[in-house]
Amino acid sequence: MELIRGWHNLRAHHHGCVATIGNFDGVHRGHRAVLARLEQEGRSRRLPVTVVIFEPQPLEYFQPQSAPARLTELRDKLNALAGTGIDRALCLRFGPRLAQMSAEAFINELLVARLGVRFLMVGDDFRFGHGRRGDFAMLQAAGERHGFTVARMPTVADGGERVSSTRIRQALAAGDLDLAARLLGRPYGICGRVIRGQALGRNLGYPTANIAFRHRPPLQGIFVVQARLDGEERFRPAVASLGTRPTVNGTRVLLEVHLFDFSGDLYGKRLEVQFLRFLRGEERFDSLDALRRQMDRDAAAARAYFSARP
């Protein structure tokens, strides 16, 4: 997959494509159905498939304090998109320029002049342009003028409800990891680079690999997880805490992963963590000794989970 970072990096050979536009947060089963449909259209027209995404996501720009929690950071989203077989991802910085751009200019300057879109797939509720003036009907009218087709995204349902990023966030917040995995088509995971912490876990007998976040994660608590380092094929069994560590008056959200029966230096390495079972919510303990005893119980529960797996 070719990554095009920014409007200014569009070149003449990027003109002519089938395309879709959206956040694609999580790259879930619904998104994959869209991309599969778009790939079919691209093959039939002998045109490359282009996915247009924004960074930050528009709501994060307009409402940074109340925007939904991120399912995937940009790097992980791009890796997931690359795995779908699309040809190009155009990542546009969402800032004042795009926020102030009229819907007509977005169509004429990006979709027509720069991308040369021949087939565009968007959701019925897709809105764009300054004041959210642009909608599906405007795109259809523009398509008739400029010679491109506009189609609605297919809907994928699970349990009688649409598969969506919002529904996945709700499942994760409720600790329903099985439902989240079913909607995603894979276990929910977080990737990140291991940073140095305060060595609290090590002092309590549970050394951890710590990962910080740019955006608020969609879940918190104590979990059974599996983790693997970049370059490794197999996942290692582990237990993890995701939260602010209230017992030590922490304020920064951290993912702390204790890999069972592992020794080695993980600082600076990238770690992929998949969440398998919710054990409990975060708690404040009266003492570090009480915290350690609870960590013993959490680790035992995680080990029992892995022992019971086929």
Q: Is 3.40.1180.10 the CATH number for 2-158?
A: no
Q: pTM of the predicted model, to two decimals? A: 0.93
Count CA within 13 A, CB hemisphere, residue 290.
Answer: 7
Kindly report the CATH number that applies to the domain delimited by 188-308.
Answer: 2.40.30.30
pLDDT (average), residues 51-76: 94
Provide the token pair at 241: 């805490």
User: Which tens digits make up the pLDDT trace of 115-124?
Assistant: 999 999 998 8
Task: State yes or no: cis peptide before 48, omega within 30 of 0.
Answer: no
CA separation, residue 46 to residues 42, 43, 88, 117, 144 (Å): 6, 5, 14, 13, 21
- What are the residue ranges of CATH 2.40.30.30 in the chain? 188-308
Among 28-37, 234-243, 257-266, the minimum mean pLDDT is found in: 257-266
User: Which tens digits make up the pLDDT trace of 152-200?
Assistant: 998 899 989 999 999 999 999 999 999 999 999 999 999 999 998 766 6
pLDDT (average), residues 226-246: 92
Work out whether the CA dihedral 37, 154, 142, 5 comes out positive or negative: negative
Contact by Cβ (8 Å): 152, 121: yes
Per-position DSSP letters for 22-65, written without gaps between them: S--TT--HHHHHHHHHHHHHHHHHT--EEEEEEES-HHHHH-TT
- What are the residue ranges of CATH 3.40.50.620 in the chain? 2-158
Helical segments of the chain, H only: 29-45, 58-62, 74-82, 96-100, 103-105, 136-146, 165-173, 177-184, 200-203, 288-308
Residue 170: closest CA among 218, 213, 225: 218
